[in-house]
Amino acid sequence: MNLILFGPPAAGKGTQAKRLVESRGMVQLSTGDMLRAAIASGSDLGQTVKGIMERGELVTDEIVVALIEARLDEAEAAGGAIFDGFPRTVAQAQALDAMLARRGSTIDRVVRLKVDDEALKARVAQRYAEQGRPDDNPESFRVRLEAYNRQTAPLLPYYEGQGKLVEIDGMASIDAVAGAIDTVLADA
């Protein structure tokens, strides 16, 4: 079972992915987490992406596709991946389809967490106050939302065309969203 958790920044993808790791033993593949780890380690990759991420822009498709490819065998062996924050462009989605096809695998479901922009801004303002994540500042968050709307939202018709897209109310409580995701996975 391979699942994409889809939605704008701060929609709750990471929270739900971590719960699925606990409950199902699936592997969470978060390109944002991988890139933050690269920055924390001080690697060349980290230095390349630091400024881009802090501004709220997307890093190149090549970088994130390579990060995902390096983890796919492990995820397949564990019984499946939860893709969190990847793919974010149509080119990334096409690369993912090709990488999975080479392994005789596929994306089973794409779960879109729908949250309106005002609620996202409120969530991020709170997270910025509590955690100080650099790209949660208001200007970077504006850029991140714009990147979502311009580069990532066009993936919705891509997955709808494949009959894989399911929409969930991401404004509901964490438990209610989790229950809705479980229902989707039970039907998959």
Q: Which residues contact ligand AMP (rule: CB under 6 A)?
A: 9, 31-32, 35, 52-53, 56-59, 64, 85-88, 92, 135, 144
Q: Contact 11/170 with Cβ under 8 angstroms?
A: yes
DSSP conformational letter for 82: E
In the residue annotation, 114 being an active-site residue is answered as no
Q: Which residue is nearest to ligand AMP (CB)?
A: 32
Quick one: tokens of 159? Answer: 């997955």
Query: Can you state the angle between helices 90-102 and 61-77, rounded to 10 degrees?
Result: 30
Find the catalytic residue in 50, 121, 127, 164. Answer: 127
- Cα(119)–Cα(78) distance, rounded to whole angstroms? 35
In the chain, the largest separation of any two C-alpha atoms, in whole Å, equals 45
In the residue annotation, 121 being an active-site residue is answered as no
CB of 172 to ligand AMP, least distance (A): 21
In the residue annotation, 13 being an active-site residue is answered as yes
CB of 42 to ligand AMP, least distance (A): 17
In the residue annotation, 18 being an active-site residue is answered as no
- Cα(182)–Cα(68) distance, rounded to whole angstroms? 24
Choose between 126 and 183: whose C-beta lies nearer to ligand AMP.
Answer: 126
Find the catalytic residue in 133, 142, 150, 164. Answer: 133
* Dihedrals phi, psi of 153, to nearest 5 degrees: -55, -30
Choose between 120 and 180: whose C-beta lies nearer to ligand AMP.
Answer: 120
Angle at 167 between CA 164 and CA 168, to 5 degrees: 135
Choose between 53 and 178: whose C-beta lies nearer to ligand AMP.
Answer: 53
CB of 135 to ligand AMP, least distance (A): 6
Q: Contact 177/112 with Cβ under 8 angstroms?
A: no
Find the catalytic residue in 19, 88, 109, 112. Answer: 88
In the residue annotation, 103 being an active-site residue is answered as no
CB of 133 to ligand AMP, least distance (A): 9
Would you please indicate which residues are annotated as catalytic (active-site) residues? 13, 88, 127, 133, 144
